[in-house]
Amino acid sequence: MREELIRRAGTDVQTLRTAIVGELSILESLKAFVSSSGGFRRAQLHDFLSKLPRGGGARKGLDWLPRVTAENRAAYEEAQWHDGHPGFRLSERTPLGEKVDARTRPEYFPLHLGIQTEQPIEGLDLSSGFDLATSEVVAEVLEKARNRDALVLTGPLTAKDDRVLAVLPVFRQQNAFEESSRRPGQLLGFALALYKASDFVESVLSNTDRADFNYQLLDLSLPAGSPAMWTRRSRGLYFDSIQAKLWRFFYGKPPQWSSVLDVGMRRWQIQVSASPRFVAANLGLTPWAVLFSGLLFTLLMVSTLRSAKWQSDEISRVQRRLHREQLEANERLGELSEALDRESAERKRAEAGLFREKQQFQLMFNAVPLMIWHKDTKNRFITVNEAAATSMGASVSEIEGKPCSEIFPDRAYDLYRDDLEIIQSGKPKLGALEQLRFAGGDTLWVRTDKLPEFDAMGRVIGILVFAQDVTRWREAEEHVKTLQEELEQRVEERTSQLRAINEELESFAYSVSHDLRTPLRSIDGFNHVILEDFGDALGETGRDYLERSRAAAQRMDRLIDDLMKLTRIARAELRPERLDLSSLAATVVAELDKTGSERKVACKVEDVPLTRGDPDLIVEALRNLLNNAWKFTSKAESPKVQFGSFQNDEGETVYFVRDNGVGFDMIYADRLFGAFERLHAVDEFEGSGIGLATVRLIVRRHNGRVWAESAPGEGATFYFTLQAR
């Protein structure tokens, strides 16, 4: 009985082994498809999957797992948007829903389509887009498959589910695994399949007699005591159970047998034990003789009496069955004939569609204004389009099949050397600018992109060249270069002129600073002496005139100081650094508080974002703005000054100084930032009219803007931005 069990169960296990090899070959097909296409769109993969034969374990869960690096992650997501999935983002959650920071990982392995399963796996989300490598179990398998360049199988994905993943690495070059240093960069991704062990084994063993054997599938790679992946118990008759008990009574425990399968670097074990029915079928004669000897005579009598009637009924049943089978055969024959007709019609439609697609491709190929040609590894032209043939001075038929030396006699060796470099490295050569002399004598400047063509084994079998005539662009570039040289010469001349003008301005500023101040100070000094020595003789009117003369001279001296300060700011070299404007504004406010004035001003300095700028110039601008706010709130009952910032609609940081002073009419806003421009009388509010001009100059030197908003009696707000480089 054991020999019979081993023979029959061994056949079943061999069938299972063959089926597993067949299923895994589908992953090899997907690997060949990816290697041959290099990069493909979702629709192409979906079309490839739809053409696979239906049925089987892996066909329901076949998918592609591309390798996406941190550098090309954004490009990959954008490609998915253009592929019909706008807003696509790599998920930052594991398959079990745990949140991870996917943006810090060096590489990602997102599902390309998403595995479609008839029943969801409990606790596991297989929707498209998440990073499958965030699962530690899957990541370990991916790394193992990558390092060994072999198919690797996981254990059961969850404790309550027998589904497993099979992954097969796909490299850009066939021999990528031979050099470990090149292997990470050559990995394209993984061909992936989802197996449900129970369905898969059931589909293989469906033709076996369920009542003969008890089957159990174990994963020996799991820790001891792990539950079985799949179990099938026989369902024999009650009578079979009685016979099995007789067997155990006479011969002991029923026979058992097991076999080990090596699947994707895991060891599966099939355990087979005899069922009661199998035991009953192989039971010896001795127990039967003891058990049924008393019933033999009765059975013989009953069988003799009923034999005639049974034979008649059996003949009728056989005739009805034969008639029914003949009708079913005729019906199946008609269905097969209709299926053949439909298949023939579909084949004709497919041929017509293929012919139309070929015509459309040929039309588009020849309509493209770029020069396109396709060469083999022996430097012969395989295909050229009309644009390329026209540029070469021949027809398409005259060029196809000819070597490169006949078309480009002057550059044949150099072009073939470039082709050999692409063939040996398998890398494209893009954006090369070349001068080509065709066999007809025409010379053109062209920009070429050369791409290698691979076969299913990853070998380069040809080169596809896209060339663009840039002769006019080249001539225009030479013309622009000439114009640029002339412009640089003019700029140098203008710079020399400006340098001379700046030297003259510096000389003038020196004269203003020293030569004009001397007589002003003399006037002020003599007026002071006259007041001290002859004040009593002049009378009140005379003293008033002298005081006014002194005030005018001193005001003129302050104007000269402010004008010189404005000149220094215009010539000063910018030294930008990181600045805290809140701290600088608080320093200026503290200076204003120490001026000795008894007036109390409520000043609020908000925290503003850090920026860049020259600290000396920025402090001067803040000092002028805050001093103005301080000055023009002198008539307010509760003077208030505020410094802060906000973000405008363009995302730009805008700083402001706001007060509740006298304000001004916006009609005169364009005069605010001019030198010596004033909107109030000197006896009403002191000042030289240079402060806001200084602010505008400093802000402009920081590539910013400054403006003001106000209304009479409602205070004023001055805004400015900084964009220091």
Distance CA 24, CA 20 (A): 6
SS3 673: coil
Q: What is the mean pLDDT of residues 194-220?
A: 72
Segment 304-328, tens digit of pLDDT = 667 766 777 778 888 888 888 888 8
Whether residue 278 contacts residue 7, with contact meaning beta carbons closer than 8 Å, is answered with: no
CATH of 2-204, one of 3.30.70, 4.10.860, 3.40.50, 3.30.450: 3.30.450
Torsion angle (degrees, nearest 10) of CA 354, 356, 360, 365? 50
Residue in the structure block whose two tokens are 């059975």: 299
Pairing of β 256-263 and β 266-274: antiparallel
387-403 in b/e form (b: 16+ CB < 10 A) is bbbebbebebeebeeee
Number of CB atoms found within 10 A of residue 660's CB:
20
Q: Phi and psi for 444 in degrees, rounded to 5?
A: -135, 150
Residue 679, pLDDT > 60, answer no
Q: What is the mean pLDDT of residues 657-670?
A: 81
Radius of gyration over every alpha carbon of the chain, rounded to an integer in angstroms? 47
pLDDT at 580: 92
Residue 175, pLDDT > 90, answer no
**Residue 42 pLDDT grade (very low, low, confident, very high; cuts 50, 70, 90):** low
Q: What is the mean pLDDT of residues 586-590?
A: 89
Torsion angle (degrees, nearest 10) of CA 491, 492, 495, 496? -150
pLDDT at 117: 43
Percent of the chain beyond pLDDT 70? 72
**Nearest by Cα to 279 from 236, 340, 314, 230:** 236
Determine which of 52-56, 217-221, 314-318, 607-611 has the lowest per-residue pLDDT on average.
52-56
pLDDT at 370: 80
pLDDT at 46: 74
Determine which of 2-11, 548-557, 585-594, 698-707 has the lowest per-residue pLDDT on average.
548-557
Q: What size, in residues, is the chain?
A: 725
CATH of 368-469, one of 3.40.50.970, 3.40.50.300, 3.30.450.20, 3.30.70.100: 3.30.450.20
CATH class of domain segment(s) 577-720: alpha beta
What is the DSSP secondary-structure string of 581-624?
HHHHHHHHHHHHHTT------EEEE-----EEE-HHHHHHHHHH
What is the DSSP secondary-structure string of 500-539?
HHHHHHHHHHHHHHHTTHHHHHHHHHHHHHHHHHHHHHHH
Full strand arrangement of the beta sheet holding 187-196: 63-66, 187-196, 163-171, 152-153
Q: Return the amino acid letter for 168.
A: L
Where does residue 610 rank: exposed (0-12), middle (13-18), buried (19+ CB within 10 A)?
Answer: exposed
pLDDT at 174: 58
Segment 246-262, tens digit of pLDDT = 555 555 567 778 888 88
Percent of the chain beyond pLDDT 90? 5
Residue 675, pLDDT > 80, answer no
Q: How many Å is the maximal CA-CA distance in the chain? A: 173
**Residue 114 pLDDT grade (very low, low, confident, very high; cuts 50, 70, 90):** very low
Q: What is the mean pLDDT of residues 148-165?
A: 81
Determine which of 9-18, 414-423, 447-456, 554-563 has the lowest per-residue pLDDT on average.
554-563
Full strand arrangement of the beta sheet holding 602-605: 602-605, 640-647, 653-659, 716-720, 706-710
Q: What is the mean pLDDT of residues 586-602?
A: 80
- List Cβ neighbours of 182 (8 Å cut-off, separation of 6 or more): 176
Whether residue 639 contacts residue 651, with contact meaning beta carbons closer than 8 Å, is answered with: no
